[in-house]
Amino acid sequence: MIRRAWKPETHKLEDAFFPVELCDLKFVYPAEMDLFGKVVRTEDVLAKGHKAVVDINKCHVFATVTDKYKLVTNEDAYKWTEPVVGTVFNHSRLKDFSCFNVRMTETRSSCCIDLVRKLEGGNVVSFQPFDDDDPWTAFIRIINSYNKTSCLKYQLGFCRWICQNGMIFESKSVDFVFTHTKGVVSEVRIGQQLAAAARERIGEIRSLEDQFIAKLRNLKKHSVPQNVMLALACKVFNLRLTRDDAESMSAAERKKAVAFVQKIKSDAHDYYQQFGANAYAAMNVLTDFASYPKGLGGVNTVPVLQAKAGAWIDEFVEASDKPGFNMTNYLGADAIEAATWYDSLTAA
């Protein structure tokens, strides 16, 4: 069984709360040139109507924005979670939550913060889809960026607690978005908007846990052989590899590809041994890789892979319930070919 110990003190919110400010943007203007066209005097000119989003500690410019842009720091985003958790988690307070994970890009331009609710005494609020010791929990994810790659967003996810994988986002779950506009100027106003958005979707949110449990139980009823797991991962994560691609790989690319294959095979061995040859075991392999993607991407890759793994649940059950379902046809030629060439790299 794959278990990962979670220690709250190892996930520090403070790491994401570094100082970021909007600073004046200037450019150097050639104010005077000599007879030969050589610049002999320059002036610093203020770029009116624009600002720079700056990491103050590292003097790093994340992006240039208009002066109508409202900066939302990671700390602001965290504090503004209060009305969201209060509505979604039955009048809970932000102080009732612990930091489950903090992920940032190397430049600190993008950040994901996952928060889970804890009961008094430190026990995590969880639910068990099955009678065995396999608890899951719901959590809130905060997504924020300083380089305009993502607007501020709050999402509801589900996590298999023992191994801390399986973070799944539903298209019909909670997805509160804040755009950086000048019209939203106060923290009170922002809180009102977020709370209103949560109330609008509260009926759907309340039923998500029951729906999610039903989906997990349904997965155990569907067969997925362990030997197709690599091809299934290629299909779900849209990974394509041909013979030409495999032969032209650099040493670094080959190393990443081998890490991907080894991760899928190792997880498949563990999860199939625990749950049997069914779609629930396959889902755990997929979501484990999505949460800890060896050989693929960085911090920004994780939410994308997790969303693909989550979408696969409904898609697979619907496909496998149809008369005449065939696993080979379901996987498709591209995924099977990709798995074949990925597998060949481990033997090279």
Strand order in the sheet with 60-66: 20-33, 39-55, 60-66
Q: Could you tell me if 82 and 208 lie in one domain? A: yes
- In the chain, pLDDT over 90 holds for what percent of residues? 35
Query: Pairing relation of β-strands 110-117 and 136-145?
Result: antiparallel
* Phi, then psi, of 151 in degrees rounded to 5: -80, 165
* Rounded distance between C-alpha atoms, residue 1 and residue 176, angstroms: 35
Domain boundary among 165, 192, 216: 216
Q: Could you tell me if 203 and 77 lie in one domain? A: yes
Structural domain of 108: 73-216
Q: Token pair of 220, please?
A: 């155990």
pLDDT value for 186: 60
Tell me which residue of 239, 254, 248, 226 sits closest to 327, measured CA to CA: 226
Question: Could you tell me if residue 8 is inside a domain?
Answer: no
Q: Could you tell me if 321 and 254 lie in one domain? A: yes
* Rounded distance between C-alpha atoms, residue 208 and residue 204, angstroms: 6
**In the chain, where does DSSP find H-type helix?**
74-79, 82-88, 187-200, 202-219, 229-236, 243-247, 251-275, 279-291, 301-320, 327-347
Quick one: average pLDDT of 137-143?
A: 81
Q: Could you tell me if 245 and 318 lie in one domain? A: yes
pLDDT value for 199: 66
Contact 281, 166 (CB under 8 A): no
Q: Which residues lie closer than 8 Å to 245 by C-beta, 6 or more apart?
A: 341
Q: Could you tell me if 181 and 238 lie in one domain? A: no
Q: What is the pLDDT of residues 152-203, one digit of tens each?
A: 888 777 766 544 554 554 444 456 666 665 555 566 666 667 767 666 666 6
Q: Could you tell me if 91 and 210 lie in one domain? A: yes
Enter the pTM of the model: 0.71
Q: Token pair of 292, please?
A: 């800890």
Which of 84-98, 179-193, 323-337 is most confident?
323-337
Q: What is the pLDDT of residues 34-77, one digit of tens each?
A: 777 787 777 888 888 899 999 999 999 999 998 888 888 999 88
Q: Could you tell me if 30 and 98 lie in one domain? A: no
Question: Could you tell me if residue 132 is inside a domain?
Answer: yes
Contact 154, 141 (CB under 8 A): yes
The number of domains in the chain is: 3
Question: Could you tell me if residue 232 is inside a domain?
Answer: yes
